[in-house]
Amino acid sequence: MRLALRKFYFKHKKFATTISIILTVIILILAFFLSTFIPKAPDTNYNSEVSQNNQYIQEQTMVSAHRAGATIAPENTMKSFKTCFENNNSYKVDILEFDLHITKDNKLILLHDDTLDRTSDCVEVYNEKNVKPENYTYAELLKYNLGYNFIDENGNYPYREEDIDLTDCKVVSLDNVFTYIQTIVTGIWHTDLKYIIEIKNGGELGLKATDILVETIKSYNLLDSVIIGTFQGEVTQYLDKKYPEVTRSSSVSEVLDFYFSCMFNVDLTKKDIKYKVLQIPDDDFVINFGKKSIVDYAHKYGIAVQYWTINKEKDIKHLQEIGADAIMSDNPELAYKVLNNLD
């Protein structure tokens, strides 16, 4: 049997190789087409009435601190929030972006990855791997140092030093963040802060996290200030069904549908569009979303366009020029200075 398979393989090897080459060429051509295609510009400009009904569509591109500013302080920690706001007005943040996971005792904590392994000292200090929040209580997670693997601009690990205060480098809960904002930040300088909050869990955990998140933002009177996002399809469907009053960003499938609709200038009023915000990359993937026609087409139908994760000055300038509504950046200080033409 093995000999027969070997003979079949070598007999058809040339044919298989040819087919493989053809498929590769087709994929490359398609990738080139998608990356260079310029969708037709819509016949309605930015200042349409429908655009003005979406508070996330702004004439001035807004600054969003991605993971609360992942390059300026340990991401998704109170340290990063304090760095954003207690910086002597050297820069200002319009939108806070962060990620949520649910713990074993149903607390929502800020974390991007599925585990604490990358950002904390759970592996190096505690010899614990695959530390997933849903397997621990909030109190149990507080022992970890989420600044342990943070590297500053000089290549140092400042939160590994002895005798350093790690209070603001612990796991932070959603309540911690909102309490800080409402009791401290508002008194400093900001009165109209907005949020982009991503639910990371899927399945039953994701649905439970959704319930807790919506209940929490309502209790803090922040329903009109929060955009909820997720890569979990069941969470998106759950939001639409149970919480239609919530503002959410587009799912992956909706982004692709939007792009191809833009290519052919489809009338989106004939579609049941449930999202108000597109959150998309620039041109780091096969499809190049960083085009003015994309932004104009979205604005025609009252959809805001926010780009992630933009950390280079030239990219920030380009997206500002094409009318992006927000720039999500790991370095909000850079984004602020570029958008405001500051040295």
Domain extent listing, the chain: 49-339
Helix axes 332-339, 313-321, angle to 10 degrees: 50
CA distances from 299 to 36, 262, 272, 276 (A): 21, 12, 16, 10
- Using DSSP, state whether 329 is helix, strand or coil: strand
pTM summary value: 0.85
Question: How far is the C-alpha of 71 from the C-alpha of 153, rounded, in Å?
Answer: 8
174, 108 Cβ separation under 8 angstroms: yes
Asked if pLDDT for residue 64 goes beyond 80, the answer is: yes
Asked if pLDDT for residue 43 goes beyond 70, the answer is: no
**Environment class of residue 282 by beta-carbon count within 10 Å: exposed (0-12), middle (13-18) or buried (19+)?**
buried
What would the pLDDT profile of 260-296 be if each residue is shown by its tens digit? 999 999 999 999 999 999 999 987 667 889 999 999 9
The mean-pLDDT minimum among 40-49, 71-80, 111-120 falls in 40-49
- Using DSSP, state whether 276 is helix, strand or coil: coil
Helices and strands per DSSP (H, E), number in the chain: 12, 9
Largest CA distance in the chain: 79
What would the pLDDT profile of 86-115 be if each residue is shown by its tens digit? 887 889 999 999 999 999 999 999 999 999
Q: What mean pLDDT, rounded, does the chain reach?
A: 88
pLDDT at 40: 52
282 or 5, which is more confident:
282
Asked if pLDDT for residue 21 goes beyond 80, the answer is: no
pLDDT at 9: 44
User: What CATH number should be reported for the domain whose range is 49-339?
Assistant: 3.20.20.190
Question: How far is the C-alpha of 235 from the C-alpha of 199, rounded, in Å?
Answer: 8
The mean-pLDDT minimum among 3-7, 188-192, 214-218 falls in 3-7
